[in-house]
């Protein structure tokens, strides 16, 4: 059974399952989900908690000994297993499979994992965990959902803001959900319940955004000129190496060209996306981009990228930062290239 963090409280009101797994890289959502499960377990008499943090030196026989010892007592316990690497190894995989197959009514087990890659998702231990646990996805909040997420959090503290102010706040905290939550709590401390003005929010909120190159390429693909400019400035301000930025932009351009070529030979778009290894969450974005950006423009973009690469390597002169800006803007606005 898979649920998202917003559904967890409703689920716990109905039942307390013997096995939970929190999977994902969004630290705030993972922390909140774990806290909610632990608090609910305490309310139901699972007062004792034992924590096992798994690294490459972890002895999985310790877990088996713990299970044998705990079965001798009637105390209700919470078993908290944390696997930061997401790789339990062969012995750990077998231990997790055994855990899934034999669950004690006196034990609530909570397993915390980072985002799991596709290869690991096909492993026997992960499939067993998917089948036997209530799995909570602690995934990053997409840019398109961030404003709504903030609005819901503000509503919990009986505060509201206008849509344009909400978008301003979302732009300020993009990519850093933990800091976003801190800023939202700050608004509750500074101002009473009710409608907050733009000045209230502007004066209270720091610029806590943490940008990444994948957000930059997403802005380029979705033709979001303002967001592209803001993220690029943020990356440059944080000292992100230009080769990393350029690579993040050229990779989706090449993928779009590959899709165009496949469709041009008569292949269905869905199959072309699959062959280009476009992951499911990105297929809608890439489909829109394929329809918006013609092959000629994409080829020009690659030529422009090649000229920027020469600047980075020092074999050509030019303003690298400005050229990266122009490369993205010309794709977001479908301008022709002079390069």
Q: For residues 188 and 161, give the distance between their C-alpha atoms in angstroms, rounded to a whole number.
A: 13
Element (H, E) at 104: none
Residues 6+ apart with CB under 8 A from 83: 54, 92, 111, 112, 113
Q: What percent of the chain has pLDDT over 70?
A: 96
Q: For residues 25 and 86, give the distance between their C-alpha atoms in angstroms, rounded to a whole number.
A: 11
Pick the CATH number of 151-204 from 3.10.129.10, 3.40.50.300, 1.10.8.60, 1.10.287.110: 1.10.8.60
For the domain 2-137, what is the CATH code?
3.40.50.300
- Structure tokens of 209? 């955004």
- Structure tokens of 19? 């096995």
Report CA-CA distances (Å) from 121 to 23, 99, 115.
Answer: 11, 18, 10
Residues 6+ apart with CB under 8 A from 197: 165
Q: Considering the chain, what is the average pLDDT of its residues?
A: 89
**8 Å CB contact between 81 and 54:** yes
CA trace torsion 194, 154, 281, 296 (10° rounding): 50
Q: How is the chain split into domains, by residue range?
A: 2-137, 151-204, 213-332
The pLDDT value recorded for residue 70 is 65
- Structure tokens of 7? 């559904």
Mean pLDDT of 33-43: 94
Pick the CATH number of 213-332 from 1.20.272.10, 1.20.1440.120, 3.40.50.2300, 3.30.930.10: 1.20.272.10
**8 Å CB contact between 98 and 69:** no
Report phi then psi at 90, rounded to 5.
-65, -50
Whether the per-residue pLDDT at 67 is higher than 80: the answer is: no
68 vs 212, higher pLDDT: 212
Give the 3-state secondary structure of residue 118.
Answer: helix
- Whole-model pTM over 0.75: no
In tens, the pLDDT along 130-182 reads 999 999 999 999 888 999 999 999 999 999 999 999 988 998 888 888 888 98
């Amino acid at each position: 059974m898979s649920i998202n963090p917003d559904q967890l409280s409703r689920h716990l009101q109905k039942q307390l399952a013997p096995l939970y797994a929190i999977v994902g890289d969004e630290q705030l959502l993972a922390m909140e989900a774990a806290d909610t499960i632990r608090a609910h377990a305490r309310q139901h008499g699972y007062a004792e908690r034992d924590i096992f943090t798994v690294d490459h030196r972890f002895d999985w026989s310790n877990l088996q000994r713990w299970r044998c010892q705990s079965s001798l007592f009637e105390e209700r316990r919470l078993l908290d297993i944390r696997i930061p690497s997401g790789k339990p190894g062969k012995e750990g995989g077998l231990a997790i499979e055994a855990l899934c197959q034999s669950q004690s009514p006196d034990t609530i087990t909570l397993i915390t994992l980072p985002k799991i890659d596709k290869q690991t998702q096909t492993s026997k231990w992960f499939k067993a965990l998917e089948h036997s646990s209530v799995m909570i996805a602690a995934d990053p909040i997409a840019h398109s959902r961030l404003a709504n997420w903030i609005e819901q959090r503000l509503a919990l503290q009986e505060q509201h803001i206008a849509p344009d102010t909400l978008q301003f706040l979302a732009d300020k905290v993009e990519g850093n959900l933990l800091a976003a939550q801190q800023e939202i709590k700050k608004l509750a401390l500074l101002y009473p319940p009710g409608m907050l003005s733009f000045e209230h929010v502007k004066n209270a909120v720091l610029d806590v955004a943490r940008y990444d190159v994948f957000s930059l390429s997403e802005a380029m693909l979705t033709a979001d000129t303002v967001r592209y400019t803001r993220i690029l400035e943020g990356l440059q301000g944080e000292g992100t190496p230009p080769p990393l930025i350029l690579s993040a932009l050229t990779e989706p351009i090449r993928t779009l060209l590959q899709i165009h070529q496949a469709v041009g030979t008569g292949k269905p778009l869905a199959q072309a996306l699959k062959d280009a290894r476009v992951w499911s969450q990105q297929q809608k974005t890439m489909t829109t981009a394929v329809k918006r950006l013609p092959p000629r423009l994409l080829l020009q973009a690659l030529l422009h990228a090649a000229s920027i690469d020469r600047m980075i390597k020092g074999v050509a002169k030019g303003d690298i930062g400005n050229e990266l800006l122009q490369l993205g803007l010309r794709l977001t606005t479908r301008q022709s290239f002079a390069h």
